[in-house]
C-alpha cells in the first residue's frame, strides 16, 4: 500500500512538473518554437528547472559548468524571469540587431553576471532566415570568468534564441565547437522549403 | 597602547556578554581607531569573520571598479571625514547604479557608482560618506544586531546582513535587505548631526548635505515607477531614514551654523568623467527613462560632457519609443555629434533611427561615420553588412 502511495505521488508530481531527462543525440525539440540537432547526448532541464531565465537548457556537466539555453520570445516577452528588484528588458518585434544584442547582455547582467559584453557581432543566416550571432564574455557573481555564444534569429513576430554559457577555463573551449553546430542546426518555423 | 588593548579586549568581552544576555543594553559606545574584536567566540567576532569573507568575495566579484585613481579619490574623501579611523576603512567602488554606500563593522566600505554619478561635488560625496562613517564609528550595526538578538531574531538578521554584503546579487538587492539593516530614526539623526560636523571640520561645505538629498528626492519623484515615486516621500535609501522633507529641513538648519565653503563641481566632474558613459549606460539598463532623463537634465546643468549626455538622452528616448520619442532621440544624437566628446555610438544611434525611417543613404553615412571612429567595434562585421545592404 505504502509503495503504491509513493508511486502514485511520483506519478502525480511527474504529471505536473516536467523532470530533467536525457536529450539523446539527433533531432531534439526543446521547449521552444524550433528544434536543433545534437551530435551527442545531453541532459535536458525543462523551463520549470531554469531558475532565472525563460526556456529550457541542455548541459553536459551541470548548470554552472556549461549550459545551452533555448527560448522563443514573442513580442513583449522577457528572456529572464520576474524577480524582486530586477528591471527586466523585454523583446519588441522589429527591434534592431543591436537592440537584440543588448536585450541578451542586459538580461544576463540583470540576473547576476557582471561586465557582460558582446563581441564579434556578425550577421548570419540559419535555416534560410537572417539573424545575428555573437560572443559573450563577463563574470559570474563569484568572480568566475564566463564566456559564451549566442544566436538570435527573428522570424515574424518571434525571436528565436540560443545562448551558451560556460566558464572560460576549459569548459567554454571544450564545447564551443559543438554548440556552434547546434546553432547552425536550428530548424525554424516558417523556413523556406528546401529542394 | 597596552591599556588601550586591555580596554578594547574588555570592551568586546562586555559587548559580547551584553549580546548574549537577552535583556542587556545594546549600546556599544564609540569605536576607537584600530578596534577589532579580541574574543573570537563572540557574536561580533563571528560577524567580523563573515564580513571579512564577504569582503574577499566582493574583491573577486568583478563588481569593484578597478581604477586606482578613482578609488584613491574616494578613499581620500572618506579619510578626510574619518580622521584617525582612516586606516580601519577599506574602500571599494562598486559598479552598481543604486544610490548607496555602506560601511560594515570590519571596515569594508562600499561606495556605489550610482552615488558617485549623482554627487555634484566633493562636498556632497563627503556628506554621505561622513554620515555612513558615523554609523561605523558608533557601532550602529552591532547595536542593531544586539537589539535584534534581544528580539530573538538575530540569526535571521545576521544572515541577511552578511548576505547583503556577500556578493553582487546580494549587493544589488541591498535595498531589499534594508528592512533588516535599517537604523532607527535616532541613529540616523545622530549620523546626520555628527556627520555634518565631521565634513565641515574637514573643510567641506555643510550646506551640500541637504542638496544631495534634495536632488535624490527630485529624481525619485520623476520616476516612471509608482514604487520609486512613493519612496521619494522617504529617501529610497533605507526606509527608516528620516523623511526627506524633514531631513532636508533639519540639515539646512544645522548647516547654517557653519561658514559656507565654495564647492568645485567642475573638478568633481573631471574626476568621474572617464566613467560617465559607462555609469549612464548602467542607468539606461534599469529602464526607468523618466528618472534617468531627469538625472541627465541635472548633469547637463554644468554644460560640460554634452556629447556623452546627449548620447545617453538619445538612447533612452529611442528605447522608450513612445510617440515622438524617435524624433527626439534623433535630435539628441545630432546634438551629441556636434560636441567633441561625442561617443562613436552617437553615430550608430543616429544610423539606427535613419534606417528605421527608410533614410537609407543617411543611415549608411552615419554607420560609416561610426565605423570610422570605432573600426574595431564589436559589431563592425554586422555594421559593414548593414552598410552594404543600405547602399544597395
Euclidean distance between CA atoms B256 and B185, whole angstroms: 22
Examine the fold and report which residue of B198, B225, B240 is the final residue of a domain before the chain moves on.
Answer: B198
Q: What is the pLDDT of residue B100?
A: 93
| pLDDT value of position A49 | 87
Position B296 in a domain: yes
Residue A77: predicted pLDDT = 96
Owner of C-alpha cell 553588412: B385
- Examine the domain organization and report whether B167 and B312 are in the same domain: no
Asked if the structure places residue B268 within a domain, the reply is: no
Q: Does A92 sit within 8 Å of B321, measured CB to CB?
A: yes
At B150, the pLDDT band (50, 70, 90 cuts) reads low
User: Can you give the pLDDT at residue B62?
Assistant: 85
**Same-domain status, B283 and B192:** no
pLDDT at position B167: 37
Which domains are seen in chain A, by residue range?
19-184 (3.40.1000.10)
> B42 and B170 in one domain?
yes
Contact A114 B95 (CB under 8 A): yes
pLDDT score at A17: 60
Instruction: Of B225, B233, B275, give the one whose Cα is nearest residue A87.
Output: B225
- Do residues B72 and B177 both lie within one domain? yes
Percent of chain A with pLDDT over 90: 73
Range(s) of the domain holding residue B340: 275-391
Q: Quote the pLDDT of residue B142.
A: 78
Answer whether residue B338 shows pLDDT above 60: yes
Nearest CB among B173, B286, B379 relative to A121 is that of B379
Judged against a pLDDT cut of 80, whether residue A16 lies above it is answered with no
pLDDT tens by residue, B63-86 = 899 999 999 999 999 999 999 999
pLDDT for residue B148? 67
Q: What is the pLDDT of residue B34?
A: 86
CA distance A122 to chain B (A): 5
Partner residue opposite A98 with nearest CB, options B61, B169, B352: B352
Q: What is the CATH number of the domain that holds B290?
A: 1.25.40.10
The answer to whether residue B163 scores a pLDDT higher than 60 is no
Identity of the residue in B57, B60, B382 whose CB atom sits nearest the CB atom of A132: B382
Q: Is A123 in Cβ contact with B379 (below 8 Å)? A: no
Nearest to B378 among A119, A123, A139 (CB): A119
pLDDT band at A134; cut points 50, 70, 90: very high
Lowest mean pLDDT of A5-9, A22-26, B227-231, name the range. Answer: A5-9
Q: Please give the Cα distance from B131 to B144 (Å, whole number).
A: 17
Of A85, A109, A122, the CB nearest to B382: A122
Hey, which residues does B110 pair with through a beta bridge? B92, B102
Residue B211 lies in a domain: no
Nearest residue of A to residue B351 by CA position?
A96
Strands B90-94, B108-112: pairing is parallel
Residue in chain B lying closest to A142 (CA): B61
Using the Cβ of B175 and the Cβ atoms of chain A, whether some distance falls under 8 Å is answered with yes
Q: Among B379, B381, B385, B387, which would you mutate to test the A interface (most chain A Cβ atoms within 10 Å of its Cβ)?
A: B379
Query: Do B191 and B283 reside in the same domain of the chain?
Result: no
Based on the fold, state whether residues B9 and B106 are members of the same structural domain: yes
Instruction: Confirm if A124 and A132 have CB atoms less than 8 A apart.
Output: yes
Distance from CA of A151 to the nearest CA of B (A): 13
Q: If pLDDT is split at 50, 70 and 90, which confidence band does A121 have?
A: very high
Q: Tell me the three cell numbers of residue B106.
A: 570590519
pLDDT for the residue B339: 98
Q: Are residues B147 and B32 in the same domain?
A: yes
Name the most confidently modeled range: A24-28, B54-58, B135-139. Answer: A24-28
For residue B17, what pLDDT band results from cuts at 50, 70 and 90? very low
Out of B183, B198, B213, a domain closes at: B198
Q: What value does the mean pLDDT take over residues A98-104?
A: 95
Least Cα distance to A82 among A91, A90, A74 occurs for: A90
Q: What is the mean pLDDT of residues B201-228?
A: 90
pLDDT score of A34 more than 90: yes
Predicted confidence (pLDDT) at residue B240 exceeds the cutoff of 70: no
Which range in A81-90, B240-249, B259-268 is most confidently predicted, on average pLDDT?
B259-268
Listed range (A81-85, A175-179, B144-148, B229-233) with the worst mean pLDDT: B229-233
Please indicate, yes or no, if residue B95 is contained in any of the structural domains: yes
How far apart are alpha carbons A132 and A149 in whole angstroms?
A: 11
- B378 in contact with A, Cβ within 8 Å: yes
Same structural domain, B189 and B288: no
pLDDT above 70 (res B233) = no
In this predicted structure, what is the pLDDT of residue B131? 95
Which residues of chain A make contact with B62, given a CB cutoff of 8 A?
A: 114-115, 138-139, 141, 143
* Domain-embedded: residue B349: yes
Any domain includes B225: no
CB pairs under 8 A between A and B: 72
Question: What interface predicted TM-score (ipTM) does this complex get?
Answer: 0.86
What's the structural domain count of chain B? 2
Which pLDDT belongs to residue B3? 32
Q: What is the DSSP letter of A192?
A: P
Predicted confidence (pLDDT) at residue A109 exceeds the cutoff of 80: yes
At residue A75, the pLDDT reads 95
Higher pLDDT, A140 or B91: B91
C-alpha cell at A96: 534592431
Residue B228 lies in a domain: no
Tell me if residue A172 falls in helix, strand or coil. Answer: helix
- B382 vs A contacts (CB less than 8 Å): 97-98, 121-123, 132
Q: What crossing angle do the helices spanning B325-336 and B306-320 adopt, rounded to 10°?
A: 160
pLDDT above 80 (res B11) = no
Q: Domain boundary residue among B151, B175, B198?
A: B198
Percentage with pLDDT > 90 across chain B? 62
Give the mean pLDDT of B234-251: 65
* Chain B positions in Cβ-Cβ contact with residue A122 (cut-off 8 Å): 381-382, 385
- The residues on A that touch B, with CB distances below 8 Å, are 84-85, 87-89, 92, 96-99, 101, 106, 109-110, 112, 114-115, 117-123, 132, 134, 138-139, 141-143
Range among A108-117, B101-110, B377-386 with highest mean pLDDT value: B377-386
Predicted local distance difference test score (pLDDT) of residue A2: 52
Our CA-based measurement puts residue A15 at a distance from the nearest CA of chain B, in whole angstroms, of: 34
Residues of chain A with Cβ-Cβ distance to B167 below 8 Å are 141-142
DSSP count for chain A of H helices, then E strands: 3, 10
Give the pLDDT score at B235: 44
B294 in A contact zone (CB under 8 Å): no
Q: What's the pLDDT at B264?
A: 96
Residue B200 above 60 pLDDT?
yes
Q: Is residue B9 part of a domain?
A: yes
B357 in contact with chain A, both atoms CB, cutoff 8 A: no
A149 strand-pairing partners: A135, A164
d(CA A74, CA B138): 53
Q: How far apart are CA A81 and CA A83, in angstroms?
A: 6
Specify the pLDDT at position A192: 65
Residues B30 and B142 sit within 8 Å (Cβ to Cβ)? no
Residues 6+ apart with CB under 8 A from B335: B306, B310
Q: Which of A11-15, B106-110, B201-205, B262-266 is the least confident region?
A: A11-15
Encode pLDDT of B20-43 as tens digits. 443 445 677 888 888 888 888 877
Whether residues B176 and A85 touch (CB distance < 8 A) is answered with yes
Mean model confidence pLDDT for chain B: 84
pLDDT for B85-138, tens place per residue? 999 999 999 999 999 999 988 999 999 999 999 999 999 999 999 999 999 999
CB contact under 8 A, A110 and B378: no
Domain identity same for B194 and B337 = no
pLDDT at position A145 over 80: yes
Torsion sign, CA atoms A46, A51, A55, A57: negative
Q: How far is B173 from chain A (nearest CA, A)?
A: 7
When pLDDT is cut at 50, 70 and 90, the band that residue B141 belongs to is confident
Q: Which of A101, A132, A142 sits opposite B60 (nearest CB)?
A: A142
Quick check: B191 pLDDT over 70? yes
| Long-range CB contacts for residues A35-44, cutoff 8 Å, separation at least 24 | A35/A186, A35/A187, A36/A70, A36/A162, A36/A182, A36/A183, A36/A185, A36/A186, A36/A187, A37/A181, A37/A182, A37/A185, A37/A187, A38/A182, A39/A178, A39/A181, A39/A182, A40/A178, A42/A68, A44/A20
Residue B289 C-alpha cell reads as 527613462
Amino acid at each position: 500500500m505504502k509503495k503504491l502511495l509513493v508511486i502514485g505521488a511520483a506519478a502525480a508530481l511527474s504529471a505536473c512538473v516536467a523532470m530533467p531527462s536525457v536529450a539523446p543525440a539527433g533531432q531534439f525539440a526543446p521547449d521552444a518554437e524550433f528544434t536543433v540537432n545534437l551530435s551527442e547526448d545531453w541532459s535536458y532541464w525543462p523551463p520549470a528547472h531554469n531558475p532565472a531565465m525563460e526556456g529550457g537548457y541542455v548541459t553536459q556537466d551541470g548548470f554552472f559548468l556549461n549550459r545551452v539555453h533555448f527560448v522563443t520570445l514573442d513580442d513583449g516577452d522577457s528572456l529572464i524571469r520576474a524577480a524582486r528588484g530586477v528591471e527586466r528588458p523585454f523583446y519588441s518585434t522589429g527591434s534592431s540587431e543591436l537592440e537584440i544584442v543588448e536585450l541578451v547582455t542586459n538580461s544576463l547582467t540583470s540576473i547576476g553576471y557582471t561586465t557582460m559584453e558582446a563581441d564579434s557581432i556578425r550577421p548570419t543566416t540559419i535555416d534560410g532566415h537572417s539573424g545575428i550571432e555573437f560572443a559573450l564574455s563577463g563574470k559570474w557573481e563569484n568572480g568566475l570568468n564566463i564566456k559564451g555564444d549566442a544566436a538570435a534569429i527573428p522570424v515574424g513576430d518571434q525571436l528565436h534564441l540560443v545562448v551558451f554559457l560556460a566558464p572560460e577555463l576549459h569548459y567554454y573551449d571544450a564545447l564551443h565547437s559543438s554548440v556552434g553546430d547546434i546553432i547552425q542546426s536550428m530548424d525554424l518555423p516558417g523556413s523556406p522549403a528546401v529542394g | 597602547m597596552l591599556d588601550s588593548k586591555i580596554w578594547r579586549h574588555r570592551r568586546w568581552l562586555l559587548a559580547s556578554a551584553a549580546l548574549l544576555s537577552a535583556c542587556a543594553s545594546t549600546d556599544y559606545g564609540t569605536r576607537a581607531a584600530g578596534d577589532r574584536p579580541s574574543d573570537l567566540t563572540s557574536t561580533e567576532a563571528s560577524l567580523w569573520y563573515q564580513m571579512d569573507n564577504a569582503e574577499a568575495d566582493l574583491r573577486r566579484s568583478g563588481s569593484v571598479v578597478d581604477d586606482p585613481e578613482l578609488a584613491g579619490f574616494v578613499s581620500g574623501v572618506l579619510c578626510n571625514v574619518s580622521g584617525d579611523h582612516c586606516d580601519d576603512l577599506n574602500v571599494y567602488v562598486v559598479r552598481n547604479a543604486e544610490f548607496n554606500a555602506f560601511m560594515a563593522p570590519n571596515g569594508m566600505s562600499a561606495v556605489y557608482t550610482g552615488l558617485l554619478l549623482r554627487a555634484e561635488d566633493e562636498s556632497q560625496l563627503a556628506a554621505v560618506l561622513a554620515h555612513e562613517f558615523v554609523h561605523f564609528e558608533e557601532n550602529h550595526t552591532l547595536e542593531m544586531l544586539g537589539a535584534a538578538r534581544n528580539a530573538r531574531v538575530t540569526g535571521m538578521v545576521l544572515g541577511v546582513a552578511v548576505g547583503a554584503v556577500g556578493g553582487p546579487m546580494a549587493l544589488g538587492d541591498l535595498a531589499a535587505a534594508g528592512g533588516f539593516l535599517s537604523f532607527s530614526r535616532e541613529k540616523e539623526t545622530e549620523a546626520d548631526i555628527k556627520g555634518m560636523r565631521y565634513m565641515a571640520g574637514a573643510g567641506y561645505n555643510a550646506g551640500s548635505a541637504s542638496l544631495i538629498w534634495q536632488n535624490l528626492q527630485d529624481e525619485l519623484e520623476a520616476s516612471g515607477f509608482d514604487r520609486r515615486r512613493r519612496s521619494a516621500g522617504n529617501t529610497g535609501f533605507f526606509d527608516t531614514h528620516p523623511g526627506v522633507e524633514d531631513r532636508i529641513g533639519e540639515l539646512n538648519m544645522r548647516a547654517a551654523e557653519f561658514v559656507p565653503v565654495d564647492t568645485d563641481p567642475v573638478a568633481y566632474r573631471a574626476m568621474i568623467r572617464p566613467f560617465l558613459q559607462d555609469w549612464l549606460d548602467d542607468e539606461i539598463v534599469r529602464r526607468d527613462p523618466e528618472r534617468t532623463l531627469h538625472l541627465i537634465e541635472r548633469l547637463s546643468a554644468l554644460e560640460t560632457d554634452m556629447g556623452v549626455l546627449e548620447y545617453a538622452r538619445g538612447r533612452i528616448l529611442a528605447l522608450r519609443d513612445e510617440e515622438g520619442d524617435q524624433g527626439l532621440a534623433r535630435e539628441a544624437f545630432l546634438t551629441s555629434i556636434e560636441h567633441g566628446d561625442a561617443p562613436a555610438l552617437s553615430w550608430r544611434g543616429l544610423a539606427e533611427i535613419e534606417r528605421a525611417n527608410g533614410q537609407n543613404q543617411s543611415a549608411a553615412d552615419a554607420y560609416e561615420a561610426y565605423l570610422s571612429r570605432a573600426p574595431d567595434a564589436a559589431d563592425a562585421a554586422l555594421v559593414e553588412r548593414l552598410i552594404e545592404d543600405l547602399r544597395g
